[in-house]
Structure 1
Amino acid sequence: MSFPNQSRSFDERRHRVCFWGYDGPIEISFYAAADALQKLSPDMGGTEAWCLKTFDSAVEQIHEAAIRVYERDKGGYAFTLEAEDI
Structure 2
Amino acid sequence: MTLAFPNPSRSFDEVRNAVRFMGHDGMFQIRFFIEAGALTKSDAAKREAGALEAKCLAAFDALRTSIYDVAREAYSHGRRDSYTLTAADFR
Q: Fold conserved (TM > 0.5)?
A: yes
State the match for 2:23 in structure 1.
21
1:56 pairs, out of 49, 52, 61, with 61
Q: 1:31 aligns with which of 23, 30, 33?
A: 33
Give unpaired runs (5+ residues) of structure 2. 47-51
The two structures have a TM-score, normalised by structure 1, of 0.88
Superposition misfits of 4+ residues, deviation over 3 angstroms: none
Aligned length: 82
Larger radius of gyration: 2
2:45 corresponds to which residue?
45
| Letter of the structure 2 residue corresponding to residue 81 of structure 1 | L
Q: Output the aligned Cα RMSD.
A: 1.4
Q: CA deviation at 1:3?
A: 0.2
Q: How many Å apart are 1:73 and its aligned residue?
A: 2.3
Q: 1:47-86 counterparts in 2 under 5 A?
A: 47-74=52-79, 76-86=80-90
In structure 1, stretches of 5+ residues that fail to align are none
Aligned identity (percent) is 40
Please identify which structure carries the higher helix content. Answer: 2
In structure 2, distance between residues paired with 1:21 and 1:79:
10
